A and B are shown apart, each in its own frame.
Chain A
Amino acid sequence: MTAKNKQLLLCALILLAGIVAPFLFPNYTFQIAVLWVMILFALTWDIMGGQMGYNSLGNIFFFGAGMYICAVIQIGLFYNVGDYTSAYGAVKVDFTPGQYYLGLVLGILASAVVSALFAVIFGWIVFGLRGPYFAIGTLGVAIAAGELVGAWDWLGGGSGISMPTYPGEPDDRALLFYFLCFGSAVATFAFLRVLYATRFKLAINAIRDDEAKAEAMGIHTLRFKIVAWSIAAFFLGISGAIYGNMSGFIEPLEVAFPTVTFGIFMVLMALLGGKGTLWGPVLGATLFHVIKEVTWTHLLGWQWVALGLLIIINVVYFQQGLLGWAQEKWPEAFGIRVDEPESADDNAARRAAE
């Protein structure tokens, strides 16, 4: 079996597992849905942090932005947002199924597009920063956004927004949002897989390795950086919109812009699996989420200590992450080898024949 077929088989197995999981383990539907959100987090963080070498600590901003944009669309299409939020969910506002689904679909689309636009706007500003300054600058964006929304009464301020209620059975609701989470993660992975086969990947890798050299070679560096961040923001916006509806209640600090939990988790998951690879973030997110949930259940009170230990082991012994470590150990399996010196002409002829 060729390496390509093996990967296809693996993808098919994961897809199948994703589809049957909520039916096999109905009690864990929410947890598995969050796992797909985590995979999306790690994948989108890695576009910038892993492939492009820009460690953003503020990517969670787009998640929260997507969440609030979706809420505003869902409510604003049919009611006055200010009136709705000032009632703090005390007044039960009903949405017909038609209104609910229309709002949800338009809301998710708007979150994706507007989040990507935010990335373009903030990109012009923060891409002047390099290295640790970029990390701190982006963190500032996320924290400021949380504080701003918290002080914005029209958006419910610190008291948050109760999302429109799902017009149906709770079990159907769980399945709907499970498959939205699953679908968005799979779409992100598929998109990145195609994207990483194009010039885009090598260009952002070049920016990672030596940005001054990339400029000296004529690469449109700012263009690539802004597009890279917009792609991450696009998918994070979608996931924020879905997550907000799935949890049913959103507020700025803990749910929408949780810089110290989700915001850091996305970095850790990519580092754990191996940054700068396509499968690393998937592997890292899965391991991280499973370990996190198991320690939350069986080591209550010590869960943060366990997570901290995991981070220390990761940073001290596996700085390249699991996949990076494997690549150092078995470089030949990753295609890093000296080739028998046949000539370039032969290779060109073989390619032409294919």
Chain B
Amino acid sequence: MSDLIEVTGVSKAFGGVQANRDVSLKVEAGKITGLIGPNGSGKTTLFNSIVGYHPIDNGSIRFEGQEISRLRVPQIARLGLLRTFQQTRIYSKMDCVQNMLISLPHRQAGWGSMFTPFEPELMDKAEHLLEFVGLYAKRRLISGDLSFGQQKLLEFAMALMNEPKVLLLDEPTAGINPTLINGLIDRLKRANEEFGITLFVIEHNMRVIMNLAENIYCLAHGELLAEGHPAEIQNDQRVIDAYLGAH
């Protein structure tokens, strides 16, 4: 299998705080890869580095073999590398269908396409994806009025609408009640299997990530601590120490 994302020796410091130090990891195409680590271990910083939110100090980030560490956020998004936010971000004054429609892929968007109307096929796709996440009945409500969990589902549906090759999910289950979480795990797996989207997931909920991911990386204090299958990670003494505070 080929590696879709290849992070090599990435370091990032904010003033005196070394958020990432010499991190190297790979995200395999077509699989679900997990990223765990205690609070403040640099997971979100790494995500931000990958999607071009800030420049990195050292190292290289490749997407499909292409160096992307110097590209800007929208350019990387148009390559097919998309992220969702830890603090859910949607277009809060628009209704759900509008949120979906404008999330269409902008890969080949030329100047002329700025003024094209929405084709019926796009509308169909938007509604089917809303049905997929269970928001179909609420499609005409203003998205800012939805509950937090529903907003997370909407953000996920918007990401699917964009047809990314890789989706970086920053804590997809944070703030969602346990019953909804099972449905969400199921949908993440289906997005991976049916739509063929590679997933790279930050998650604190161990039950979720152990069920979901095929390969897991663990960060601690900005450095890569361990890598392996869920079972290996669960039994790794260094990971257990990191979570229990031995470091």
Contact = CB atoms under 8 A, between A and B. Distances in A.
Interface in B50-105: 51, 73-74, 77-78, 82-83, 85, 89-95, 98, 101-105
B114 A209 contact: no
Interface stretch (A130-138, A173-181, A342-350): A342-350
A202 interface: yes
B14 interface: no
B78 to A, nearest CB: 4
A202 B95 CA distance: 10
Given A199-B115, A200-B115, A217 B139 contact: no
A219 B106 contact: yes
A336 B142 CA distance: 7
Given A338-B138, A338-B141, A344-B136, A216 B73 contact: yes
Given A216-B73, A220-B106, A205 B94 contact: yes
A165 interface: no
Given A206-B102, A224-B114, A218 B141 contact: no
Given A199-B102, A202-B101, A336-B140, A220 B93 contact: no
A218 B93 contact: no
B: interface residue count bin: 35 or more
For A197, A217, A337, which residue has the most chain B Cβ atoms within 10 angstroms?
A: A217
B106 A213 contact: no
Interface in B161-187: 162
Interface string A324-346: 00000000000111111101110
B115 A218 contact: no
Nearest to A210: B89
A344 B133 CA distance: 12
Contacts of B211: none
Nearest to A352: B120
A206 B91 contact: yes
Nearest to A276: B93
Interface stretch (B32-40, B123-131, B189-197, B198-206): B123-131
Contacts of A351: 120, 123-124
Nearest to B107: A218
A92 interface: no
A213 B91 contact: yes
B97 to A, nearest CB: 10
A213 B155 CA distance: 10
A223 interface: yes
Interface of A is mostly: helix
A216 B83 contact: yes
A203 interface: yes
Contacts of A212: 89
Nearest to B131: A344
A197 B117 contact: yes
Interface residues of A, number: 40
A200 B104 CA distance: 13
A347 B132 CA distance: 15
Contact of B162 (A202, A203, A217): A217
A351 B127 CA distance: 12
A195 B115 contact: yes
A328 to B, nearest CB: 10
Contact of A209 (B82, B93, B130, B141): B93
Contacts of B83: 216
Contacts of A208: 93
A198 interface: yes
Nearest to A222: B74
Contact of B98 (A205, A216, A224, A340): A205
Given A202-B98, A205-B94, A340-B137, A220 B115 contact: no
A146 to B, nearest CB: 33
Given A216-B77, A344-B124, A202 B92 contact: no
B77 A215 contact: yes
Nearest to A207: B91
Nearest to A341: B137
Contacts of A217: 77, 82, 102-103, 106, 158, 162
A221 interface: yes
A224 to B, nearest CB: 7
A72 B140 CA distance: 51
For A205, A218, A221, which residue has the most chain B Cβ atoms within 10 angstroms?
A: A218
Contacts of B147: none
A227 interface: yes
For B73, B92, B114, which residue has the most chain A Cβ atoms within 10 angstroms?
A: B114
A223 B106 CA distance: 13
B74 A209 contact: no
A217 to B, nearest CB: 6
Given A336-B140, A339-B139, A344-B128, A215 B73 contact: yes
B54 to A, nearest CB: 12
Contact of A341 (B106, B136, B142): B136
Interface of A: 195, 197-200, 202-203, 205-206, 208-210, 212-221, 223-224, 227, 276, 335-341, 343-345, 347-348, 351-352
Closest 3 CB pairs between A and B? A218-B77, A209-B91, A344-B127
Given A200-B114, A220-B106, 8 more contacts: A195-B115, A197-B117, A215-B73, A216-B85, A216-B89, A219-B102, A341-B137, A344-B130
